[in-house]
Each structure stands twice: as structure tokens, then as C-alpha cells.
């Protein structure tokens, strides 16, 4: 059990803290007690989370599960506890930000003054010149063409910038995961992230149904969040055995891809493949490791 520096203000927060103290790993305990460093607006901050922040997070998650038009929703204890583990483990969820000297970060809100339009003064010659209908037609066509050119340039520029920005925001682990799930649509793909083995997208729904897990979502830099479900590393063997009754499994961990076949025979075979050379480096057959 790890001692957590979490202040409690209500009975509900005390129950959440008690659950966390009995179940978090050393890594998550360190995140809770000391926070993690993140980069925002080209500056480094310490991101710390507290139970007040979690209660707001849980309230938003509850609203998502409430029926349309409902004023309340009933959530099981195990679901709330799963939210708590996810909230304090997930690095992308932002709590309170602190400067590196320990002071709380308070963003400075700046307002941009509206540009003033210069007043054009006509010369005496311009003022006395009589405009013709042809002048108006030419000027209107020029203005219309210029506006279209500007709109097209802006659309191309915005599109290119959005694509580049989206690519830079997507983490490498998700690109690797997405590539594997597309290559093996009938296999459950799990990836090791911190203290958890997690599945995303359709695979998250699969393991949530089989293992009775909480289905949440995660921001990976796409237009919308991806579905997410996972379990701690210390229950990996038990949970994989349960999954293995229905699905083949691929595990992404430490640069390798490990396949676990469904238990269709008495012999269970697990192949570990190096993702860089695509060669099988080890096979576990009936409890014995055979190196390739």
C-alpha cells in the first residue's frame, strides 16, 4: 500500500482515496504525489491532479452515460473506481498546472486590438473623374476574382496545416497500434502503456465485453477521442487467459509483437516477433521456450 498525498473533503472522496491506496502501483502513486512534467505553449509545467478534479471528471463521464433528458444516472462502484484509476494514470488528462518553482500557473489572457482601417483621401483629379458603367463592371469582376483566389489559397493552406498538425499530435504508440489492428482485424491487439495493457477502438469493446471492464475514451490527437479499455499489468495472465478462450491476442510491448493463439489444443504456442526484423525470436510451446 502506498501513502497518497490526496486531500479529501467528502465521504465520497475518502472512499476513492481508500481504493486508490489499496490498488495503485508505485508509478501511479508517484504521479499522484509528485505530478508529471508536461509541455504546453512551449513551456514546461508540473501537472498535478487532486480529488476535486476527479469528481468533476466523474461527473462529466456520468452525464455521458445518462439517458437523454434524464436528470440523474446510477453508476456502479466498480465503474467509478475504474474512472479513478484512469484519471490519475492517464498523462493526457490535465489537472492543476504548476510552474517549475512550485507556484501555481495562471495563464495570462491577452486581447488583440481590432485593426483600424485607414481612411483614403481622394485627390482632386480622382474626385472630379466621372465613373462609367464599364468601370463598375471591371472593378466588380476584379474584386470577385480576388476574393475567390483568396478563399482558395486559405482553404489549401488551412487543409495542409491541419493535416501536418494532426500528424504531429498523434503519438507513435497509437500509429503502431492502429497499423496492427488494421493488419489483424480478427485478433485482439493489446499495447503496454505504463502499468496497463490497453485496447483501443473496436478491440476496446471486445475486451470490455469479455472481461467486464469499463469502456472509456482517450484523446490521441484525432478529430474525436478513441474508445479505450484496459487492465493493470499484475492481472495480465488471468485476463489474457480469459480473453484467449474467444480471441487470438497480439501484445505490443518493448518493441516486440507477441501472438497468443486461442486454446484449441492442449499445447499453447506463443510466438514473439521482433517488429524491426519481422523474425520470430522465441516460441513458448507447452511451457518450454524455444529460441529461433
Percent of the chain at pLDDT exceeding 90: 19
pTM summary value = 0.51
Distance of CA 28 to the CA centre of its chain: 17
Last residue of a domain, one of 98, 121, 136: 98
Report if residue 181 sits inside a domain: yes
Last residue of a domain, one of 98, 133, 161: 98
Least confident of 75-89, 186-200, 211-225, 274-288: 274-288
Report if residue 131 sits inside a domain: no
Least confident of 135-144, 166-175, 224-233: 135-144
Q: Transcribe 183-195 into DSSP letters.
A: H-TTEEEEEEETT
Report if residue 64 sits inside a domain: yes
Is 286 in the same domain as 176?
A: yes
Q: Phi/psi of residue 95, each to 5°?
A: -105, -130
Q: How many CB atoms lie within 10 A of CB 251?
A: 20
Q: Are 91 and 48 in contact (CB under 8 A)?
A: no
Distance from C-alpha of 39 to C-alpha of 211, rounded to nearest angstrom? 35
Expressed in percent and rounded to 5, the helix, strand and coil fractions of the chain are 45, 20, 35
Write the pLDDT tens digit of every residue in 187-225.
999 999 888 899 999 999 999 999 988 888 888 888 888
pLDDT at res. 80: 87
Give the containing element (helix H, strand E) for 199: strand 196-200
Distance from C-alpha of 152 to C-alpha of 243, rounded to nearest angstrom? 51
Task: With cut-offs at 50, 70 and 90, classify the pLDDT of residue 123.
Answer: low
Report if residue 240 sits inside a domain: yes
Last residue of a domain, one of 46, 73, 98: 98
DSSP 229: E
Report if residue 145 sits inside a domain: no
pLDDT at res. 68: 64
Q: Which domain holds residue 260?
A: 172-291
pLDDT at res. 289: 45
Task: With cut-offs at 50, 70 and 90, classify the pLDDT of residue 288.
Answer: very low
pLDDT of residue 164 exceeding 70: no
Report if residue 225 sits inside a domain: yes
Identify the residue with better confidence: 185 or 287. 185
Identify the residue with better confidence: 101 or 149. 101
pLDDT of residue 103 exceeding 70: yes
Average pLDDT value for the chain: 78
pLDDT at res. 206: 93
Distance from C-alpha of 184 to C-alpha of 206, rounded to nearest angstrom? 14
Residue 265's CATH number: 3.40.1170.10
Identify the residue with better confidence: 164 or 238. 238
Distance from C-alpha of 49 to C-alpha of 98, rounded to nearest angstrom? 11
Domain count, the chain: 2
Is 67 in the same domain as 178?
A: no
Is 180 in the same domain as 286?
A: yes
pLDDT at res. 138: 52
Report if residue 66 sits inside a domain: yes
Amino acid at each position: 500500500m502506498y501513502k497518497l498525498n490526496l486531500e479529501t473533503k467528502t465521504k465520497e472522496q475518502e472512499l476513492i482515496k481508500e481504493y486508490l491506496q489499496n490498488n495503485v502501483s508505485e508509478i501511479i502513486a508517484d504521479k499522484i504525489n509528485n505530478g508529471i512534467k508536461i509541455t504546453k505553449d512551449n513551456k514546461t509545467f508540473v501537472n498535478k491532479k487532486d480529488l476535486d478534479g476527479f469528481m468533476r471528471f466523474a461527473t462529466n463521464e456520468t452525464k455521458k452515460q445518462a439517458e437523454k433528458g434524464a436528470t440523474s444516472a446510477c453508476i456502479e462502484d466498480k465503474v467509478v473506481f475504474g474512472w479513478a484509476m484512469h484519471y490519475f494514470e492517464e498523462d493526457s488528462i490535465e489537472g492543476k498546472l504548476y510552474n517549475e518553482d512550485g507556484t501555481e500557473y495562471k495563464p495570462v489572457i491577452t486581447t488583440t486590438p481590432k485593426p483600424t482601417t485607414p481612411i483614403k483621401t481622394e485627390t482632386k483629379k480622382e474626385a472630379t473623374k466621372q465613373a462609367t458603367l464599364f468601370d463598375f463592371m471591371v472593378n466588380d469582376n476584379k474584386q470577385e476574382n480576388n476574393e475567390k483566389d483568396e478563399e482558395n489559397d486559405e482553404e489549401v493552406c488551412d487543409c495542409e496545416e491541419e493535416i501536418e498538425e494532426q500528424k504531429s499530435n498523434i503519438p507513435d504508440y497509437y500509429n503502431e497500434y492502429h497499423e496492427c489492428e488494421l493488419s489483424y482485424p480478427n485478433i485482439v491487439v493489446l499495447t503496454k502503456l505504463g502499468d496497463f495493457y490497453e485496447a483501443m477502438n473496436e478491440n476496446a469493446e471486445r475486451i470490455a465485453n469479455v472481461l467486464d471492464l469499463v469502456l472509456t475514451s482517450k484523446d490521441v490527437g484525432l478529430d474525436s477521442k478513441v474508445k479505450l479499455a484496459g487492465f493493470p499489468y499484475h492481472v495480465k495472465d488471468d485476463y489474457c487467459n480469459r480473453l484467449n478462450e474467444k480471441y487470438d491476442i497480439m501484445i505490443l510491448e518493448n518493441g516486440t509483437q507477441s501472438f497468443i493463439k486461442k486454446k484449441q489444443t492442449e499445447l499453447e504456442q506463443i510466438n514473439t516477433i521482433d517488429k524491426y526484423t519481422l523474425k520470430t525470436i522465441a516460441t513458448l510451446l507447452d511451457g518450454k521456450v524455444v529460441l529461433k
